Amino acid sequence: MILSDRNSMFSPHLPLGDQQSAPWYGKDIISVKQFTKEDLEYVFEVAHEMRVMVERIGTFDLLKGKILANLFYEPSTRTASSFTAAMERLGGSVIPINEVKYSSVAKGESLPDTVRSLECYSDVIVLRHPEVGASELAAKYASKPIINGGDGVGEHPTQALLDLFTIFEEQEEVNGLTVTMLGDLKNGRTVHSLSRLLSLYEVRLNYVSPDILRMPPEIVGELDEKGIPQREFTSLEEPLPDTDVLYATRVQKERFEDPDEYEKVKGSYIISPQTMRVAKEDMTLMHPLPRVGEISMELDDDPRAAYFRQMEYGMYVRMALLAMVLGKA
Ligand code: CP
């Protein structure tokens, strides 16, 4: 594609105001269940265009004048900063509430009142919250789009979208792949969302976890109904040689009520250069990060280690999502 001037790739779509007929205009992004395969193709096409534009010109004014409120009740490095970077690369600006204890939440303000306040000053809100269903609740009260940045052990839809985009970028095709998910599959919202998205394709899924951290039965049942072959293991040894994508996750200390239970399972899996000797030469190693010892730093230069590229892809996907819900894509 030849881009002759700023925003030229969007010129057929660019109105003077928001394009209210755009299919995702004004919509909330709460769950991956909202996305069809065609929607995913569209998101990835726009994300790819965003990547081209960032590589060519860095920052451009597609969302000039728009404001994002980043409302984070839980810690975040990647989700918060990549949404900030995405908005700023598109010419918009950000209200960062990354530490709710310094906001009126600390005075007891409810989630509905907090989002109703923030939408007075912003056009879109990204919400991370420790409770499952918080984004859905926020969306009920807000008239501006709510994007779920992770709701407790529930879902992390924008992470799953960037994970799938990463798989397409690294493997070129998703149909036919064997994807192995490893670690805390009970509490890991990223694997809950990603497994659901992958079920739109012809994949085989392996789940490797300690017994107390298995993939929730409702997700296994949901995918079973769709005919997705799923196998469970407690060791990586058997599934690794046939794996095309290994998706590692950390054991989520903050979700354990009993610290002794955490101590029993922390460090259950450590992927090292030794582990990777039996893995395919062209497989992809992913992790949503942060890692707390699951992947040895010695692997960072292995071409199969995609977790830092995965983070960068996240910004392009989030640029696409912001443009879509604000009617500019
Ligand atoms: N992957 C992810 O959600 O990272 P953060 O917790 O740093 O946002």
Q: How many residues does the chain have?
A: 329
Span 20-78, pLDDT tens digits: 778 899 999 999 999 999 999 999 999 999 999 999 999 999 999 999 999 999 999 99
Q: What is the pTM of this model?
A: 0.92
Is the Cβ atom of 191 under 6 angstroms away from ligand 1?
no
Mean per-residue pLDDT, 296-314: 98
Closest by CA position to 146, among listed 131, 157, 162: 157
Residue labelled with tokens 């925003």 = 7
Ligand 1 pocket: which of 71, 74, 79 to mutate (most atoms <8 Å of CB)? 79
For residue 79, the CA-to-ligand 1 centroid distance in Å is 5
- Indicate which atom in ligand 1 lies nearest the CA of residue 311: 1
CB of 292 closer than 6 angstroms to any ligand 1 atom = no
- Taken in order of first residue, the domains within the chain and their CATH numbers are 19-155+313-325 (3.40.50.1370), 157-311 (3.40.50.1370)
What is the reported pLDDT for 196? 97
DSSP helix/strand/coil, 249: coil
Taking the alpha carbons of 236, 242, 246, 252 in that order, is the dihedral positive or negative?
Answer: negative
Q: Which of 81, 83, 159 to mutate to test the pocket of ligand 1 (most atoms within 8 A of CB)?
A: 159
Instruction: Evaluate if residue 19 carries a pLDDT over 90.
Output: no
Sign for the pseudo-dihedral over CA of 106, 110, 112, 113: negative
Q: For a substitution probing ligand 1, which of 151, 158, 289, 295 has the most ligand atoms within 8 Å of its CB?
A: 289
**Cα–Cα distance for residue pair 25/328, rounded to 1 Å:** 8
pLDDT at residue 227 is higher than 60: yes
Of the candidates 202, 197, 205, the residue with the CA atom closest to the CA atom of residue 179: 205
pLDDT at 1 over 70: no
pLDDT at 12 over 70: no
Q: What residue's CA is closest to ligand 1, atom 1?
A: 288
- Gap from CA of 2 to ligand 1 centroid (Å): 34
Cα pseudo-dihedral 157, 316, 324, 9, rounded to 10: -160
77 lines ligand 1 (CB under 6 A): yes
Which atom of ligand 1 has the smallest separation from the CA of 150?
Answer: 3
Average pLDDT, the chain: 93
3-state secondary structure of 66: coil
Greater confidence, 177 or 22? 177
Give percent above pLDDT 70 in the chain.
95
User: How many beta carbons lie within 10 A of that of residue 218, not counting itself?
Assistant: 9
What is the structure's pLDDT at 17? 65
Cβ–ligand 1 distance for 114 under 6 Å, the answer: no
Question: Best mutation site among 78, 158, 254 for ligand 1, i.e. most ligand atoms within 8 A of its Cβ?
Answer: 78
Nearest CA to ligand 1 atom 3: 79
Among 3-12, 59-68, 90-99, 270-279, the range scoring the smallest mean pLDDT is: 3-12
Put residue 91 in one of left, alpha, beta given phi > 0 → left and psi -120 to 50 → alpha.
Answer: left
pLDDT digits (tens, 9 = 90+) for 254-292: 889 888 898 889 888 999 999 999 999 999 999 999 999
CA separation for the pair 316, 56 (Å, rounded): 13
Average pLDDT, integer, range 161-166: 98
**Residue 315 pLDDT exceeds 70:** yes
**For 202-214, what is each residue's pLDDT tens digit?**
999 999 999 999 9
pLDDT at 100: 85
Torsion, Cα of 163, 164, 167, 168 (10° steps): -140
| Predicted confidence (pLDDT) at residue 99 exceeds the cutoff of 90 | no
In the chain, the amino acid numbered 185 is: L
